[in-house]
Structure 1
Amino acid sequence: MKRRTNLFIFLFLVINLLNCKIIKNEEKTASNSSGVTLNSHDFENNDFPKNRREVNDYEAVFNVDEITILTKIIRDFERKTTNQIAIVSISSIGTYTDFDKYAIDLSNYWKVGQKNKDNGLTIVFSKKLRKIRISTGNGTEKILTDQICKAIINQIIIPEFKNGNYYEGVYKGLAELIAKWK
């Protein structure tokens, strides 16, 4: 009888361990998807999602490799300059009616840039809403003026977006912003 009980316990443990491994692999696959699914816990009692990383792809427009490349570029740039960059794709601006205001408020809410330098830049875009905004901190806008940001959007990013190349548009726009910001 004791041997049968031990066998039952052993089989129970093996089945549970296998089940845990399967669940972990499913979670890993889900976390490696190109986007992030938002739920009510992702919002902090307002219209802004929680800041998770440098590239926050809430619209699932990038694949994992693209997110990795953009993140590396941003982190390397921050290490060299202390300037901070966030990229956000989002399908909704909540109760806001003005996309530009939403992008500025999101950047301020997330505190992109160092407080004493105000050296942040946030690229917020929406494939669904067909909108994009580059928000700069006060320290940043001395170099990357509104005119420069609008030119990069109109001449580099939007032409790629019109062809469905969201990664290429953001990648090329980011490269141009960094080149001008140095």
Structure 2
Amino acid sequence: MGKANSNPSPRVGEGHLSAAAQGLAARFLLLFALFFVALTPAAAQDFPKLTGRVVDQAGILGDADEVSLTQQLAALELRTGRQVVVATVPSLQGYPIEDFGYQLGRTWGIGSKENNDGVLLLVAPEERQVSIEVGYGLEPVLTDTLASTIVQGAIIPRFRDGDYPGGIQAGVKAIASQLELPPEEARKRVAAADAQARKRQEGGFPWAGLIWLGFFAFMFIGPLIAGGRGRRSRYRRGAGMSDVILWGMLSGMGDSGRHGGGGFGGGGFGGGGGLGGGGFSGGGGSFGGGGASGGW
């Protein structure tokens, strides 16, 4: 009689399930590693110097437009003590505009160190992106919702028509209008904007719930189903979309509550004025990722 086999074959599907679980764990480890890399300070970008209240590196403003904006922003600071800077750049150097603007605002130190009350209006015409970055101290006054309303309602429609000076002027006026309000009036406007945003969300399609369902389906059910289809099929199919969904969710964890927020979290820039010339510099203000961005 033949000798009994001391190493019986695994039950059908046992090896496949184990391999599927290993593949799932490997993807989780990789994506978490990428997430923490994104949270570390980015390599130094080639930021322009803070040469004034308007820094038009992209060359989309005429001399008269720049003078007019500078005068408006200087008058706003005299009335309120709050600094607003307009910047245009020829390139975002491969970064999302939210991250580039957030770090630029901190590097320039817009706003006072005590109050963190600076605002940066950043335009990248090459990438067709615009962002409003809001200092820590102004986030309750110029909320993400209000910043988004300004970007979508005042700036982008003019940019779509090719009117960059008009869009920037409209954005500056809308920002100044909010910053100059008495505290009680500013709170009322914030509450009204939030109510409008909630109304739009309640009447919209429940995309968030579907995203969560899709995430669980691809991450947990998909690999198990694919386990019985062979190793090659398992690693070529069912992984890509689940990785994209999880990475998107992890990136969002680094945001500070803004619309389209950045993924670098705290960053490594402490901010600090004195970088610019022409008698103007930041006051050491800091930014935390508040604001809004959009494209056209």
TM-score (structure 1 length as normaliser): 0.73
Are 1:179 and 2:177 matched, yes or no?
A: yes
* Corresponding residue for residue 49 of structure 1: 48
* One-letter identity of the residue aligned with 1:66: D
Cα distance in structure 1, aligned partners of 2:95 and 2:52? 26
Do the aligned residues in 2 keep the contact of 1:47 with 1:93 (CA within 8 Å)? no
Secondary structure of 1:136's counterpart equals: strand
* Corresponding residue for residue 93 of structure 1: 92
Pick 1 or 2: higher relative contact order, CA cutoff 8 A, min separation 6.
Answer: 2
Gaps of 5+ in 2: 1-43, 181-296
Cα distance in structure 2, aligned partners of 1:156 and 1:80? 23
Larger Rg: 2
Cα distance in structure 1, aligned partners of 2:115 and 2:157? 32
Per-residue deviation at 1:97? 2.4
Cα distance in structure 1, aligned partners of 2:95 and 2:120? 19
Cα distance per residue 1:4-59 (max 9 Å; x no partner)? xxxxxxxxxxxxxxxxxxxxxxxxxxxxxxxxxxxxxxxxx642111110000001
Do the aligned residues in 1 keep the contact of 2:80 with 2:179 (CA within 8 Å)? no
* Corresponding residue for residue 102 of structure 1: 100
* Corresponding residue for residue 148 of structure 2: 150
TM-score (structure 2 length as normaliser): 0.45
Secondary structure of 2:84's counterpart equals: strand
Cα distance in structure 1, aligned partners of 2:160 and 2:118? 27
* Corresponding residue for residue 126 of structure 1: 124
Which consecutive aligned stretches of 4+ in structure 1 deviate over 3 angstroms post-superposition?
A: none
Cα distance per residue 1:86-113 (max 9 Å; x no partner)? 100101122x422110000000000000
Cα distance in structure 2, aligned partners of 1:68 and 1:46? 28
Gaps of 5+ in 1: 1-44
Identity of aligned residues (%): 25
Aligned length: 137
Cα distance in structure 2, aligned partners of 1:158 and 1:143? 22
Do the aligned residues in 1 keep the contact of 2:121 with 2:130 (CA within 8 Å)? yes
* Corresponding residue for residue 69 of structure 1: 68
